[in-house]
Amino acid sequence: MAFQMNANAAFPLKSVLIANRGEIACRVIRTAKAMGMRTIAVYSDADRNALHVKLADEAYPIGPAPARESYLVIDKIIATAKAAKADCIHPGYGFLSERAEFAEACAAAGIFFVGPPPSAIRAMGLKGEAKALMAKANVPVLPGYHGDIQDPKFLKQKAYETGYPILIKAAAGGGGKGMRRVDKQIDFDQALEAAKREAEAAFGNPDVLIEKYVASPRHIEVQVFADTHGNIVHLFERDCSAQRRHQKVIEEAPAPGMPDDVRKHITQAAIEAARAVNYVGAGTVEFLADGSQGLRADAIWFLEMNTRLQVEHPVTELVTGTDLVQWQFKIAAGEKLPLAQEQIRLHGHAVESRIYAEDAARGFLPSTGRLTALRFPGGNGIRVDSGVEQGGEVTPFYDPMIAKLITFAATREQAFDRMSEALGGTIVSGPRSNVEFLHALTNSPEMRAGTVDTGYIERNLEALTKPGEADFAAAAAAVEKLMVAEQAKQREALRLLPAAVRRSPWSAEDGYDFSGARDIPVAVLVNGERVTARVFQRGDALKASVKGAASEPCEIVEVGDLLVAIRNGRQTKVKLAESSALDLGRAGGNGAIAAPMHGKVLSVSIAKGEKVVKGQRLMVLEAMKMEHALDAETDGVVAELSVAAGDQVSEGAQLILIEAEKVKAK
């Protein structure tokens, strides 16, 4: 279908099918409904009760849980759109959003594709070809090899010529998948094999490229928009330097420490990049900057162009006062850009934190399960984009994002203060989450100073993920509430007994016999640590202390048999010790290797009866399209091997048992 339309005609898009799930599907649905469009969701078997399904006007099943059998099947999406009589398809981000053949399939079916033309997707889809194109357009690119030759020996030579350290990167995708840093040539072969395998799994294309590694890199990107009438604008820049595993964690707009002349240089380069591929729609041009001496125009290089909406687009919306999804719909319908360049102004500062179901203290392993509690703060300057709700499931089949928490204020300092407070009031229970890690990162001196580079989190991982000491004054307040509840239960139980029994000298008025002054020890878990709280009863007053700290006023939220006490931006979790459950995070002791998360066994490197040494690679698991290696924690012999390559495993399941080698008597 042609992208050009009569700009004076009535807006033709009356219905939209969202070919996605989770947070971005919910985000698109909200804007589409505000524009009066009928919204159509699709869902896999795992998403039958998902939030985006509930929000849409209509919803249709498209297959089994694995994305390759549902969300990635073009024919199913097109057939559903035709059956639902959708005028257009919005691809969101991820999945099919950067697949040129999907855009072509939409056109062949007579359905508008809310995205760029297939030619632009292809031009920017392969990083090597894109960088060659950018070089011709005089957009600065990093040294390296971006060609088609994929012979391992040839790539190894190109890495040597580029000079170590280098990055091996998937040619057909992003998000850190298929990416490996290599510091020495001796490590190149193994890194190349792993990068190609991961690239094939994530993007269906094992090709890679080689790039020079920048020592103090900052990740700066520019939001661009173009229409079918030849107009191209930028909506300023974002800083996405706070990353782990090459995936963005906290983003902000505008970039801290951005001089006006450098901003002019980088935004103009982004526009030229879009112009070089005759771009249409929303796109993000990403740059790598050497931040060792501040941002300079001569130390910024083109990285890649994402031909879709970005996860971090809300920070741009807040500092420019726009709705970028609305812009996408208007441009897809052939309208001109809503604003000219001189009408787009930058005001205030916005910060976004990505809240994931993952365990930061255990290498950011994905976590799954039912969200028994989910609460976000509200108020002025706080926005939450979420694709799940309390009671919903985080499954092992997709990206484990829970929500994006975004704050906005007049200044950068105020925006970060607001983010710190908002994270302190966010509660996620069920799967593990990275909220405490985000809170620590938000308040780190380097983040507050705006000097974080892409390697900062990795260099400071221990400090950022180390649990701080519990707030024992808040814990004491939670203990008081627990004891009041226990007293009420005991009194109700006694009330139901016969009167003669209630008056028996052997029956107390309540479960703890608080008829006079009492001092009772109570075993509780405070953030998982078993401690003894002291509970004091003086008449009708009940007070508690934990580790010598008396209770202080705080907000307390009930999550099942767990209480979460919130004070000064910190969360303290308290429950009676007797009701504690096994911490699967500690499973795997005594030579047992347990699955750290739900996932699929990609490879097994050992056999039953084989001798292994500490640090030896045992197997590789895949979860959320990322590989996770399991290594031996001790020397010994493989006594049990419970799985094989291709098996699906559950978090906490024993996979391998290693026993100490028996010494034969002489």
pLDDT digits (tens, 9 = 90+) for 563-580: 989 887 778 989 988 643
pLDDT at 10 over 80: no
The residues near 510 (Cβ < 8 Å, ≥ 6 apart) are: 487, 490, 491, 494
Residue 554 and residue 496 share a domain: yes
According to the model, what pLDDT value does residue 590 have? 58
Q: Which residue, chain included where needed, has tokens 């039912």?
A: 370
| Rounded Cα–Cα distance for residues 468 and 527 (Å) | 10
| Residues 366, 621 contacting (CB under 8 angstroms) | no
Which of 234-238, 626-630, 642-646 shows the lowest per-residue confidence on average (mean pLDDT)?
Answer: 626-630
Residue 538 and residue 638 share a domain: no
Residues 153/159/162/165 CA torsion (nearest 10 deg): -160
pLDDT band at 499 (very low <50, low <70, confident <90, very high): low
Residue 489 and residue 443 share a domain: no
Residue 8 lies in a domain: no
pLDDT, averaged across the chain = 88
pLDDT band at 494 (very low <50, low <70, confident <90, very high): low
Residue 126 and residue 87 share a domain: no
**Helix orientation angle between 127-136 and 260-276, rounded to the nearest 10 degrees:** 110
Residue 265 and residue 181 share a domain: no
Which of 119-123, 510-514, 658-662 shows the lowest per-residue confidence on average (mean pLDDT)?
Answer: 510-514
pLDDT at 662 over 80: no
Last residue of a domain, one of 414, 438, 466: 466
pLDDT band at 9 (very low <50, low <70, confident <90, very high): very low
Residue 314 lies in a domain: yes
Greater confidence (147 vs 91) lies with 91
pLDDT digits (tens, 9 = 90+) for 29-50: 999 999 999 999 999 999 999 9
Residue 611 and residue 514 share a domain: no
The 3-state secondary structure of 13-52 reads CCEEEECCCHHHHHHHHHHHHHCCCEEEEEECHHHCCCHH
| Rounded Cα–Cα distance for residues 575 and 573 (Å) | 7
Burial 481-508 (b: 16+ CB within 10 A, else e): bbbeebbeebeeeeeeeeeeeeeeeeee
Burial 150-168 (b: 16+ CB within 10 A, else e): eeeeebbebbeebeeebbb
Residue 650 and residue 603 share a domain: yes
According to the model, what pLDDT value does residue 537 have? 81
Residue 7 lies in a domain: no
| Residues 525, 533 contacting (CB under 8 angstroms) | no
pLDDT at 512 over 70: no
Set 38, 308, 354, 418: catalytic member = 308
Q: Which whole number is the average pLDDT over 576-604?
A: 63
pLDDT at 51 over 70: yes
Domain CATH code at residue 605:
2.40.50.100
The number of distinct structural domains making up the chain is 6
Which DSSP symbol is given to 557?
Answer: E
Most confident option among 105-119, 368-382, 497-511, 576-590: 105-119
| Rounded Cα–Cα distance for residues 557 and 566 (Å) | 8
Domain CATH code at residue 29:
3.40.50.20
Where residue 364 falls (left for φ over 0; alpha for ψ -120 to 50; beta otherwise) is: left
Residues in the chain: 666
Residue 628 and residue 536 share a domain: no
| Rounded Cα–Cα distance for residues 105 and 113 (Å) | 9
pLDDT band at 184 (very low <50, low <70, confident <90, very high): very high
According to the model, what pLDDT value does residue 517 have? 58
Residue 50 lies in a domain: yes
Residue 453 lies in a domain: yes
Residue 271 and residue 168 share a domain: no
pLDDT digits (tens, 9 = 90+) for 57-116: 999 999 999 999 999 999 999 999 999 999 999 999 999 999 999 999 999 999 999 999
pLDDT band at 319 (very low <50, low <70, confident <90, very high): very high
Residue 476: how many other CB atoms lie within 10 Å: 28
Paired strand residues for 112: 88
pLDDT digits (tens, 9 = 90+) for 202-239: 888 999 999 988 888 999 999 999 999 999 999 999 99
pLDDT at 173 over 90: no
Helix (H, G, I), strand (E, B) or coil at 282: strand
pLDDT at 153 over 90: yes
Last residue of a domain, one of 466, 498, 516: 466
Greater confidence (122 vs 245) lies with 122
Domain CATH code at residue 431:
3.30.470.20
According to the model, what pLDDT value does residue 510 have? 42
- Give the domain range for residue 573: 472-578
| Residue 308: active-site member | yes
pLDDT at 332 over 50: yes
pLDDT at 195 over 60: yes
Most confident option among 358-362, 412-416, 624-628: 412-416
Which DSSP symbol is given to 460?
Answer: T
Domain CATH code at residue 199:
3.30.1490.20
Residue 123 lies in a domain: yes
**Helix orientation angle between 435-442 and 412-424, rounded to the nearest 10 degrees:** 150
What are the structure tokens assigned to 470, written together? Answer: 């519990």
| Rounded Cα–Cα distance for residues 341 and 205 (Å) | 38
Residue 122 and residue 253 share a domain: yes
Residue 385: how many other CB atoms lie within 10 Å: 18
According to the model, what pLDDT value does residue 497 have? 63
According to the model, what pLDDT value does residue 314 have? 98
| Rounded Cα–Cα distance for residues 524 and 336 (Å) | 63
Last residue of a domain, one of 524, 543, 578: 578
Residue 341 lies in a domain: yes
pLDDT band at 133 (very low <50, low <70, confident <90, very high): confident
According to the model, what pLDDT value does residue 578 have? 63
Residue 128 and residue 267 share a domain: yes
Residue 258 and residue 124 share a domain: yes
The whole-model pTM stands at 0.78
Which of 27-36, 318-327, 332-341, 623-632 shows the lowest per-residue confidence on average (mean pLDDT)?
Answer: 623-632
pLDDT at 541 over 60: yes
Residue 666 lies in a domain: no
